[in-house]
Structure 1
Amino acid sequence: MITVIEQAVQARLVATAPKVETVPVTLCYDRSDPFAVRMAFPAPATLEGVEVSWTFARELLRSGLIRPSGQGDVRVRPYDGDRTTIEFHAPEGVAIVLMATAELQRFLRRSAEVVSPGHEHLYLDMDHSLAELMRGPR
């Protein structure tokens, strides 16, 4: 049984490092963290010159395809019929990417095959999470 989904997609960067317009982005869903999705940007697309990953709620991505969603560091909203805007807010500034809505929908469908929306709680490893919490900072 598949427990991790990774999907490469193209993103058009609206606000980013100079000379980078379209970059490959990797979307990842892991059943061991069932409420979250991860979006990784390659080093050439970042101000620091290292790969940067953002982790946020799968539900935020899902709802953002339909209506503006999010109030924190990640915000998702429809742009037009074919594209979705994702904003990443950090102390260094804001990065805005446009992604094909169809690709995001495909990724969400694939993630739903791993863990159906509404059933994420069944895949939480509470013992492991509690042990990590009790271990404290490293």
Structure 2
Amino acid sequence: MSTVIEQTVEARLVAAAPRMPSIPATLHYDRDDPFAVRMTFPAPATLEGVEVCWTFARDLLAAGMQKPEGDGDVRVRPYGYDRTVLEFHAPEGTAVVHVRSGELRRFLEATGELVSAGLEHFRLDLDHDLAELMRDA
């Protein structure tokens, strides 16, 4: 069984213009980092012209599909029928994207097959991680 899940989703960038261009984004989950989800946007979709990757909690994504969640750089909330809004806040500005909730649910279901929600801590090797920290000290 694979230890990594990658799923491409269609994200709609919300901008000042009435047209919301569709951009491909990739959701990534690795059972070796069981609490985290990464969302990557390709270079052509970013202001800097370089690929941008945001890392945030898997439970933030799941909870934000039900009700507004997040206080920091990443915020998630439901929007209308079968849409979820993800806001990415950076010093350069805020990016707001809409993603079909069904695509996010499929992704979360697949991650749950790798590591069940609430059992992420069993995937961590704290003794190894602490030994690595102490080795560098």
Q: TM-score, normalised by structure 2?
A: 0.91
* Equivalent residue runs for 1:74-89 within 5 Å: 74-89=74-89
Letter in 1 for 2:115: V
| Alpha-carbon offset, residue 132 of structure 1 | 4.6
SS of 2:56's equivalent? strand
Letter in 2 for 1:13: L
Residue-by-residue CA offset, 1:101-124 (whole Å, 9 max, x unaligned): 000000000000000001000001
Question: Do residues 96 (structure 1) and 64 (structure 2) align?
Answer: no
The runs of 5 or more residues in structure 2 that have no matched partner are none
Cα distance in 2 for residues equivalent to 1:38 and 1:106:
15
SS of 2:49's equivalent? coil
Structure 1: 4+ residue segments shifted above 6 A? none
Q: Percent identity?
A: 65
* Equivalent residue runs for 1:42-81 within 5 Å: 42-81=42-81
The runs of 5 or more residues in structure 1 that have no matched partner are none
Q: TM-score, normalised by structure 1?
A: 0.91
Letter in 2 for 1:99: V
SS of 1:104's equivalent? helix
Cα distance in 1 for residues equivalent to 2:132 and 2:106:
33
Q: Is the 8 A contact 1:83 1:100 kept in 2?
A: yes
| Alpha-carbon offset, residue 131 of structure 1 | 4.2
Calculate the aligned-residue CA RMSD, in Å: 1.8
Letter in 2 for 1:11: A
- Residue of structure 2 equivalent to 1:108: 108
Letter in 2 for 1:3: T
